[in-house]
Amino acid sequence: AQSVTQPDIHITVSEGASLELRCNYSYGATPYLFWYVQSPGQGLQLLLKYFSGDTLVQGIKGFEAEFKRSQSSFNLRKPSVHWSDAAGYFCAVANSGGSNYKLTFGKGTLLTVNP
Amino acid sequence: DGGITQSPKYLFRKEGQNVTLSCEQNLNHDAMYWYRQDPGQGLRLIYYSQIVNDFQKGDIAEGYSVSREKKESFPLTVTSAQKNPTAFYLCASSIVMEQGFYNEQFFGPGTRLTVL
């Protein structure tokens, strides 16, 4: 069964600093990978996704992520964090084969941004 | 504007009462989903539906029920059999996935249910 691990429950960075949020997945074939962001009390918004091709994907709000098959990772990065980036971040994996709909989420990383 | 609407945003119920959460979408998506989110947890799938009048159980369906009478609507009922119903509930929708092709899910703003 597919699974997602986000090893950092809570990360604090200063505004303007760089950011990397870690995501490791477990899946037999090439997965479909996603990063979502959730503001407090809100739904989830898709930041970026990886289906195939270039392993470095660009998303909204200046975020990017890199798929590394050898490390089963899909880490999210941003070169300079803004105070408005404070939110919960969720990595998710979907089955790339068949008609399996299932989207499996990690437990999330809460990002705090200090002024 | 196209999107997903969930109502109400906050819902309070007494223990032992059934409660129904609304989810409506005007994205013309075939598939709809219900997730539960608890503090410090990821999202867990309750039920999903890929077509009208059909739905399947997700990972934590016990104590919940759904219906899909219209393409636009996928209400979730939290029954008295659900032992810990207090949570944040999120509805999502997507285009129906074809063989080997996945479409991302779009989420509503959520309903926070508190059982007193």
Instruction: Give the model confidence (pLDDT) of A81-110 as tens digits.
Output: 999 999 999 999 986 555 556 788 999 999
Average pLDDT, rounded, for chain B: 91
- B108 shares contact with chain A (CB less than 8 Å): yes
A28 has pLDDT over 90: no
Under 8 Å between Cβ of A37 and A19:
no
- Count the alpha carbons within 13 Å of B2 in the hemisphere toward its beta carbon: 8
- Rounded to the nearest 5 degrees, what angle is found at the Cα of A43, between the Cα atoms of A2 and A101? 30
Cα(B108)–Cα(B100) distance, rounded to whole angstroms? Answer: 26
Strands (E), chain B: 4-7, 10-13, 19-25, 31-37, 43-51, 54-57, 64-66, 76-78, 87-94, 106-107, 111-115
- Candidates B76, B74, B100; CA nearest to B11 is B76
For B58, the token pair is 């997700």
Cα(B41)–Cα(B95) distance, rounded to whole angstroms? Answer: 26
Grouping H, G, I as helix, E, B as strand and the rest as coil, residue A60 is helix
Identify the pLDDT of residue A100.
54
Are the beta carbons of B42 and A107 separated by less than 8 Å? yes
pLDDT digits (tens, 9 = 90+) for A34-56: 999 999 888 999 999 998 888 99
Are the beta carbons of B42 and A45 separated by less than 8 Å? no
Q: Which residues of B touch A60 (CB under 8 A)?
A: none
Cα(A36)–Cα(B11) distance, rounded to whole angstroms? Answer: 25
B97 has pLDDT over 70: no
Greatest alpha-carbon pair distance for chain B in Å reads 45
Identify the pLDDT of residue B99.
64
Are the beta carbons of A108 and B42 separated by less than 8 Å? yes
Are the beta carbons of A42 and B48 separated by less than 8 Å? no
